[in-house]
Amino acid sequence: MATIFTHAILAGSLSQVAPKLEKKEKIRLIILLLTVSVIPDLDVLAFALHIPYEHPLGHRGFSHSIVFAFLMAMLASVIVIPKSEWFQLKWWWILFLIFLAGVSHGILDAMTTGGKGVGFFIPFDSSRYFFDWRPIKVSPFGTQFFTDRAWLILKTEIIIIWIPVLLATIAVRIARRLNKSSKAT
């Protein structure tokens, strides 16, 4: 995996392009975006259950797939939006954002230097995939992360993910403000 921080930052930033929501809904959305972005790595339990890495239920398997991201998005979107608004445009938009947050986990993992590839198409195809561009150093789990390597790992993620996300967030905010003031005049 990339570090948990990077998964969360990328997913959390998606809330910037959410439709207009009530405060409660927005908080629920942010919490769920962060949650779905890190849930896939609970599959490390597979190691404890002696499920091999390359098995469809192994690490970076089904839990990192597009189908799993969609299922998480279905479940999470009905938590964010009240039943009366399900299947309306706002709900679809939220579903899509949560889906992106889930898929972003596998995308970041497919850009890492270690482990095995990501099973994006499980259960239809159990192949594992990496992108050709793999600048992210694979992050160890748990307390092993807090070693000398931590800074080395974070440095690349800050440059290729955190800074672009920050710039995109600023750009969205400026665009929104300009839009608001042009409507006001």
Residue sitting closest to Zn ion (CB): 1
- Which residues, 6+ apart, have CB-to-CB distance to 130 below 8 Å? 110, 111, 117, 118
* Residue 177: strand pairing partners: none
Residue partners of 154: CB distance under 8 A and separation at least 6: 3, 5
Question: Residues in contact with Zn ion, total (CB under 5 A)?
Answer: 4
Dihedrals phi, psi of 131, to nearest 5 degrees: -85, 160
Choice from 9, 109, 110, 111 touching Zn ion (CB under 5 A)? 109
Which of 9, 18, 41, 98: binder of Zn ion (CB under 5 A)? 41
Number of C-beta neighbours around residue 70 at 10 A:
15
Nearer to Zn ion, 1 or 161 (CB): 1
By C-beta, is 40 or 58 nearer to Zn ion? Answer: 40
Binding of residue 25 to Zn ion (CB under 5 A): no
Q: Is 11 in the site for Zn ion (CB under 5 A)?
A: no
Question: Which positions lie near Zn ion, rule CB under 5 A?
Answer: 1, 40-41, 109
